[in-house]
Structure 1
Amino acid sequence: MSEATQSWVAEGVRAVIGAHAQAQDAGRTDEVVALYTPDGVLEVPGMDPVEGHDGIREAFKGWAPTRPQLHVVTNTVVTSAAEDEATAVSDVVFFLRAEPGWAPQLVGRYDDTFRRVDGTWLLHRRRTTYQA
């Protein structure tokens, strides 16, 4: 794969990751769902895997913010890249805003698989782990 293609893939992957965090923090559930393939899978510790658009929609509706929140996703490394599939690992810190200010709630990692569908990069699988 050419360097230009690798850069293009990495740019697409990072755009999906950023759009996901911003839509989730704003409570825009339908935008989050639209970032997944129709057969997408979400794995979160302590839960059975959530599958498909309907399952992902229900999960994110249940997690809709009730106060300001922020997912800071950083250190994204694209670990494999092809023209139609890619994987990446990112670190994430989740903050909530309370009376004294922003406070970190958890630190974790996303292991993501992406697929390109009709020219658009989408999440196919997100596995979240929490760091102790």
Structure 2
Amino acid sequence: MSESLHAEVVAGVRATLGAHTQAQDAGRTDEVAALYTSDAVLEVPGLEPIEGRDALRQAFKGWEPTRPQLHLVSNTVVTSAGENEATAVSDVVFLQRGDSGWTAQITGRYVDTLRRSDRTWRLHRRTTTYQA
């Protein structure tokens, strides 16, 4: 893979992850669901895997914010990159604003597999783990 193609893949992956985070924190459920492939799988500790875009849309609808929140996704490393599939690992801190200000609720890690079709990168599988 050429350096320019690798850079393009990394930029596309990061753009998708950023768009997901911002849409989720704003409660834009349809935008979040559109960032997944139709057969995507989301694994969250304590839940059965959520499979398919429609099921993901319903899950994210149930998780729409009721008060200000932020998922701070950082340290993203693209661990495998191909022309149409890539994997990435990112750290995440979930903050929520309450009466006394912002507090960290969860820290964790995302392991993502993304696929590209029609020049658009979409999440195909996200596995979430929480840090103690």
TM-score, reference length from structure 2: 0.99
1:83 match: 83
1:129: how far off?
Answer: 0.3
1:114 match: 114
1:69: how far off?
Answer: 0.3
Q: In structure 1, what residue type is equivalent to 2:32?
A: V
Residue 36 (str. 1) matches residue 57 (str. 2): no
SS of 2:66 mapped into structure 1: coil
**Counterpart-to-counterpart distance in 1, 2:96 and 2:119:** 35
RMSD: 0.5
1:55: how far off?
Answer: 0.5
**Counterpart-to-counterpart distance in 2, 1:70 and 1:131:** 17
1:36: how far off?
Answer: 0.3
Structure 2, unaligned stretches of length 5 or more?
none
**Counterpart-to-counterpart distance in 2, 1:54 and 1:119:** 22
Could you report, residue by residue, the CA deviation over 1:28-61 in whole angstroms, capped at 9, with x for unpaired residues? 0000000000001100000010011111011001
Q: Percent identity?
A: 70
1:4 match: 4
Could you report, residue by residue, the CA deviation over 1:83-127 in whole angstroms, capped at 9, with x for unpaired residues? 000000000000000111100001000000000011111000000
2:129 match: 129
**Counterpart-to-counterpart distance in 2, 1:106 and 1:53:** 25
2:93 match: 93
User: 4+ residue runs of structure 1 moved beyond 4 angstroms?
Assistant: none
Matched pairs, number: 132
1:71 match: 71
Could you report, residue by residue, the CA deviation over 1:2-37 in whole angstroms, capped at 9, with x for unpaired residues? 011110000000000000000000000000000000
Structure 1, unaligned stretches of length 5 or more?
none
**Counterpart-to-counterpart distance in 2, 1:63 and 1:111:** 20
1:26 match: 26
**Counterpart-to-counterpart distance in 1, 2:54 and 2:88:** 24
